[in-house]
Amino acid sequence: MKRYLTAILIAISALIIIIGISIDLYWSGIASWGIALICLVFAAYYTKYIPNDKKKGKS
């Protein structure tokens, strides 16, 4: 499940940005980009759980 979190978090961040831009409130743009940035940081963290096929081939 952890290996799919990168793709899921990137999709969630895109949805947050789209929803945040469509809502016309005072701080909605800054808040949506901030939350999207946090999601992208977590997505980068979970890339270490994506399997690397090159390592398995050399062993």
Is residue 8 over pLDDT 80? yes
d(CA 43, CA 39): 6
- The candidate with the shortest Cα–Cα distance to 31, out of 45, 13, 46, 43, is 13
pLDDT, mean of residues 53-58: 66
pLDDT tens, position by position, 13-42:
999 999 988 988 888 889 999 999 999 999
Tell the residue number behind the tokens 């978090």, with chain if given. Answer: 9
Q: What ranges do the domains of the chain cover?
A: 2-58
Angstrom distance (rounded) from CA 51 to CA 59: 14
Cα–Cα distance between 37 and 49 in angstroms, integer? 20
